Structure 1
Amino acid sequence: MKLLILIHSLQSGGAERVSASMANHWEEAGWTVTVLTLTSNARDFYKVNAGVQRVALNVAGDSRNALSAVNNNFQRVRAIRRELKKREPDVAVAMMSTANILLALAAIGLKGVRIIGSERTYPPRIPLGRAWEAMRAYLYGQLDTVVALTQESASWLHQHTRAREVAVIPNAVTWPLPIHDPYLPTPDRTDGSHILLAVGRMSEEKGFDLLIRAFHALAPDFPTWRLVILGDGVDRQALEAQTVLTGLESRISLPGRSGNVGQWYAAADLYALTSRFEGFPNTLIEAMSYGLPVVSFDCDTGPRDIIRHEIDGLLVPAGNGAALEHSLRRLMENKALRDQFGAKANEVKQRFSIESVSKMWENYFGLES
């Protein structure tokens, strides 16, 4: 079996982690796997096995104007098509919207290869712009299958694109998580402190501003608790400024990206996801796989497909700061409840195992389940 996976890059991100994990899984199963990126490999955050063919097209970059954009995307399509012809995969999978469109164009007229696209977000929450939306609506009809992470996304794709077949396949959880650079030492816990942890890109949709606000309100009642937010992004300065305004610089830390995030999950006491929207949050299933109880906004989409409310975590009405504070308080003040939820949270390792999720993908590769 020869498989090609196309994604913009292997820099830090949920779709990037999934691509690397699935590539490694299928390579270990004896497949010939190629991971193809539009960027160079100089800033790869996630590593693939030595047996995975890592091809960097180095055709990413911003366009100066509309004409430049057309030319740049034509060059990308040509480069992808050249690799498809060279490697002759049985299946080619694209990860994320623009990659799906580029793959659909690159594969026109090619025989013997099954072409699959994969939406990694809830599409209406991240519009692509008029031209890309029009191409998505039409060109998804050229794909053999489009994979969505949730039923909500699948329904949207049925209604707004010409996709012929839409499959719902969740992300798989990787446990234990590999360790790589950058390495951030976990804090010393001998002082009896507790950690409320969050992980993700520091951007508006992740809602870390709401989490800092909630922790600020709770902090006087929980002097042994600290908030740690791992990640980086465009909102870092704004979040740092918000932290200073709370006066809790000694108890709120934003140490950056971590290549040993699994160790941080293992060291934490509680995990919070405060996103305004999601696709299918990898950090949530990762945290739960390490036995962490979780509190999450019930945002579109993903958390309600992962958390079993009052069994392994708490779902909070999306964007409701008061409800977030209440749910965090319930778990921060009750170790027995944290332990109870954490023991059940660990079951995501079976519910979203890479073995079961990979078989779901293979059903659409033309393989027997």
Structure 2
Amino acid sequence: MIISLYFFKLENSAGGAERSVIWLSNQLVKHGHFVHLISWDKPGSKTFFALEKNVIWHKLGLCHNFTNKLRKIFRLTALLKSIKSDVLIGFVMGGDKAVYVSSLLSNTKVIAAERNSPIMYSIKLNKVFAFFYLNLFSLANKIVVQFDAYKAGYPFYLNKRIVAIPNPIATPKLFANVVSKDINQYTLLCVSRLDTQKNLEILILAFSLLAKEFDNWNLKIIGNGSLIQELQSLIKHLSLTKRIKILVSKTTINKEYANAHLFCLPSIWEGFPNALAEALASGLPSVGFSSCDGVNKLIKHRHNGLLVKKNNVEDLAKALKVLMKNSSLRLKMSKNAKLISSKYQEAIIYKRWETLINRTCRNI
């Protein structure tokens, strides 16, 4: 089977959606399919995550601006016609009109793989634009969301097209020792893109309220993004440059989970937060906001972490304090957190993708 996958840009990007499209591309090739990966990256671009050599990556090299919209449609349509794909899987393309138009013009079946909770549209857009973008999904043959609960956020007439397929979690080779007595320093870890959605300012401020009392704890944030300078300035203003570190994304992230003692993801919304899932699988008790879709699907309150009801600094600090001071509770939650791997095994998740692709091609 010939399968194309689309993502806007992949160059050196370590996000969860980028990881998902690379993972699925690699899995499809390993299972004998012909795979074409399509993006608007420039020639010479490289992926952050390892890409199988048999995946054919088409780097179309056009910038996102008004004058290029028609060129994008023509170029993508021509490519899809030449590839003659059985199906195109578009990642994060809810509002990407060029992909929908090109798919229609090339007579290519489309699976729209949404990577965010539908609440994102109401948060980022007014009601008119949110309605418009959600209804663009009607141009897709199938729609993939990451949790069954997300189906309710789409127009009711799309429900028959929606399939829930979560992200896979690889079983860790290293696990966190959250009560290690061999050290006197502890790490609160956050792995996240540095942008507004991730709400990292609140985490930094919450830690600042605890820093004096917990002088053997440090906060480590790992990720890339546009807010790096703003967050570094805040840390400097709080006089916590020795206690809070922001490091660039790295491929050896499993070691960071294993060396940490507590995890926090303070996002406003998510889809399926890979970093949180991996932290839990590594045995890290985790903290997030109960109002955050995605986070509230993975953290089970008082089982493998804590969900904070109010999205504010003080309440987040109180929840973090509970786990920072109670090693036995961290240990109990750590054991529960590791169980998440069995639910999202790679083989199980790939099987669901394979089934969906076959059904789409057969118009079932």
Is the structural similarity TM-score above 0.5? yes
Partner Cα distance (2:61, 2:295) in 1? 35
In structure 1, runs of 5+ residues without a counterpart are 64-68, 178-188
For 2:6, the equivalent position in structure 1 comes to 6
- TM-score relative to the length of structure 1: 0.86
Q: Can you list the C-alpha shifts for 1:172-202, whole angstroms capped at 9, x where unaligned?
A: 224459xxxxxxxxxxx97521110001111
Amino acid at match of 1:146: I
Higher mean C-alpha displacement, 358-367 vs 142-151: 358-367
Residue pair 1:140, 1:163 contacting (<8 A) in 2 also: no
1:363 CA drift (Å):
2.8
CA distance in 2: counterparts of 1:300 and 1:328, whole angstroms: 17
> Are 1:114 and 2:109 counterparts?
yes
Deviations 1:108-167 (A, max 9, x none): 1545x43111221234435468997676355422211111223454222225x8676122
Q: State the TM-score, normalizing by the size of structure 2.
A: 0.87
Which secondary structure does the structure 2 equivalent of 1:365 belong to? helix
Classify the secondary structure of the residue corresponding to 2:53. coil
Correspondence for 1:80: 76
Match of 1:35 among 34, 37, 42: 37
Corresponding residue for residue 245 of structure 1: 237
Helix, strand or coil: the match of 1:222? coil
Q: How far apart are 1:248 and its partner, in Å? A: 1.8
Aligned to 1:184: none
Q: How does 1:20-31 map to 2 (within 5 A)?
A: 20-31=22-33
Show the counterpart of 1:349.
341
Mapping for residues 186-201 of structure 1, pairs under 5 Å: 192-201=184-193
Distance in 1 (CA, whole Å) between partners of 2:297 and 2:139 is 29
- Aligned-partner SS, 1:104: helix
1:136 to 133, 136, 141: 133
The one-character-per-residue Cα deviations of 1:68-97 (angstroms, maximum 9, x if unpaired) are x1x412221222222222222222100013
Find the counterpart in structure 2 of residue 17 from structure 1: 19
Match of 2:101 in 1: 105
Distance 2:330 2:164 in 1: 31
Distance in 2, matches of 1:42 and 1:176, equals 29
Q: Aligned to 2:70, what secondary structure does the other structure show?
A: helix
Matched, 1:290 2:282: yes
Instruction: Give distance in 1, aligned partners of 2:215 and 2:135.
Output: 56
- TM alignment of 1:194-233, pairs within 5 A: 194-233=186-225
Q: Does 1:54 align with 2:51?
A: no
Displacement of 1:210 after TM fit?
Answer: 0.7
SS class of match (1:249): coil
Tell me the residue number matched to 2:178. Answer: none
Moved more, 324-333 or 137-146: 137-146
Residue type of the alignment partner of 1:257? S
Give the one of 336, 347, 364 matched to 2:356.
Answer: 364
Per the TM alignment, residue 99 of structure 1 is displaced from its structure 2 partner at its CA by: 6.9
Cα distance in 2, alignment partners of residues 135 and 38 from structure 1: 24
2:176 aligned partner = none
Letter in 1 for 2:48: F
Letter in 2 for 1:12: A
SS at match of 2:358: coil
Using a 3 Å threshold, how does the CA distance of structure 1 residues 87 and 2 change in structure 2: closer, same or farther? Answer: same
Query: Counterpart of 2:220 in 1: which secondary structure?
Result: strand
**Aligned-residue CA RMSD (Å):** 2.6
Structure 1 position 146 matched with structure 2 position 149? no
Deviation, structure 1 residue 304: 1.7
Note the residue ranges of structure 2 that are not aligned, 5 or more in a row: 174-180
Hey, what's the Cα distance between the residues in 1 that align with 2:244 and 2:234? 10
CA contact (8 A) 1:7 1:99 kept: no
Q: Secondary structure at the match of 1:195?
A: strand
Q: Is the contact made by 2:77 and 2:105 (CA closer than 8 Å) also made in structure 1?
A: no
Aligned CA distance change for structure 1 residues 245 and 110 (closer, same or farther; 3 Å): closer
Q: CA deviation at 1:103?
A: 2.5
Alpha-carbon deviations, 1:211-255, whole Å to 9, x = none?
A: 111111111221111100111222111211111122221111112
Matches of 2:61 and 2:94 in 1, distance apart?
16
Cα pair distance change 1:3/1:131, threshold 3 Å: farther
Q: CA deviation at 1:267?
A: 1.0
Mark the CA change 1:146 to 1:54 in structure 2 (over 3 Å): closer, same or farther. Answer: same
Q: Report the residue type matching 1:74 in the other structure.
A: L
**Map of 1:155 onto structure 2:** 152
Say whether the 8 Å CA contact 1:141–1:164 is kept in structure 2: no
In percent, how many aligned pairs have the same letter?
26
Shift of 1:282: 1.1
| Structure 1 position 106, deviation (Å) | 1.0
Q: CA deviation at 1:12?
A: 2.3
Distance 1:16 1:34 in 2: 15
Q: Tell me the alpha carbon deviations over residues 253-281 of structure 1, each in whole angstroms, 9 at most, x when there is no partner.
A: 11222222121111111100111222221
